Amino acid sequence: MASPSASVVQLLENRAIAAEGMIAHLLQQIDEIKRHCSNNKENAQAAELEAENLALAKKIEICRKSLIDLEVKNGKKQVPIPTVGNTSILKVEAKDPPAVPKENAQEAKQKPEKKEKGPSNEPNAADKPKAPKKEKAKKPQAPKQPEKADDDVTRLDLRVGLITKAERHPDADSLYLETIDVGTGTPLTVVSGLAGKVPLEDMQNRLVILLCNLKPAKMRGIVSQAMVMCASEPGGKVEVLIPPAGAAPGDRVSLEGEEAGQPDTQLKSKVWEAVAAKLRTRPDLVAGFDGKKLIVPGKGEITTSSLAGVPIK
């Protein structure tokens, strides 16, 4: 069944409203007639009018119900209201308050009412003087060392060492294998390419100058932890540097008139190359750096037997 159009619904609503107004007007007229009519004829007319009024009210109620049905079919929500034929008053039932569990009710009775706190004589926490905060003692920090140049000789860890044992490398005829005491309690293992250049007997129980902070390197299966410093002619004679008399294993090497300084933990290749370029023996056969003497402080100069003006490496 097709739904009625909106215009039909609106027309029915308008007629219902007009009918209600007419009923109200007729009721008012009936009341006036009742007050003024005193004879039977007038009473009969009033009864006739009342009957017509009731008949008209029934027709209006029928129209109203039809209108409601149409509105419901069209999805319009209905709210019941009092009408002429139905003068019942809509009652709104008050919902009973939710029942309080007995346990909660008993707890509510047992809880004493909180008394409002009056002004207290005790000082407020905010008013109490705060104890001065103890400043944490700052740990003294070591002063930062200035950045050293690549060719700074103090970056080298040069020390006096004592060869306690020297032998040929088991896997290389051109290499010596030495055990050297540098005063630390743990001797170093050093592999030197001096075989055929320095007699093996000259390497036994002698003091040497060691470079101790090169990166350890494996030479024919054995890790070398340091390097024996020598004066060397290019492609020719090689002489091991000679520490001064009285030097002892572990003594540091420095430039004359300067402190030894803090060496690098491990030399980078570019640093070693930059410093090595300035390491040479002087004309007086003293080992030097950029012309300055290399010494063991308080002990004396580091020398070579006969090679002057040659690189040290």
Tens digits of per-residue pLDDT, 250-305?
999 999 988 888 999 999 999 999 999 999 999 999 999 999 999 999 999 999 99
pLDDT at site 312 = 96
In the 8-state DSSP scheme, what is residue 115? P
Instruction: Label residues 173-204 b or e (16+ Cβ within 10 Å = b).
Output: eebbbbebbbeeeebbebbbbbbebbeeeebe
**Local confidence band at 33 (pLDDT 50, 70, 90 cut-offs):** confident
Instruction: Label residues 57-76 b or e (16+ Cβ within 10 Å = b).
Output: beebbeebeebeebbeeeee
CA 81 to each of CA 18, 65, 99, 121, 259: distance values in angstroms, whole numbers, following the listed order: 17, 13, 33, 67, 111
| Phi, psi (degrees; rounded to nearest 5) at 48 | -65, -45
Encode pLDDT of 196-250 as tens digits: 999 999 999 999 999 999 999 999 999 999 999 999 998 889 999 999 999 999 9
- As a residue count, the chain comes to 313
Lowest-pLDDT range of 21-25, 97-101, 179-183: 97-101
Encode pLDDT of 119-170 as tens digits: 555 555 555 666 666 666 667 675 665 678 888 999 999 999 999 999 999 9
Beginning with the edge strand found earlier in the chain, give each strand of the sheet holding 158-169 in spatial order: 188-192, 172-181, 158-169, 207-211, 227-228
Q: How far apart are CA 218 and CA 275, in angstroms?
A: 23
Which residue stretches of the chain are H helix? 6-36, 40-73, 102-110, 269-276
- What is the residue extent of each domain of the chain? 6-73, 153-301
Q: How far apart are CA 277 and CA 193, in angstroms?
A: 20
What mean pLDDT do residues 163-183 have? 95
Instruction: For the beta carbon of residue 261, count every other beta carbon within 10 angstroms.
Output: 15
What mean pLDDT do residues 174-202 have? 95
Domain 153-301 belongs to what architecture? Beta Barrel (2.40)
| Phi, psi (degrees; rounded to nearest 5) at 109 | -70, -40
In angstroms, how far is the first alpha carbon of the chain from the final one?
114
pLDDT at site 98 = 55
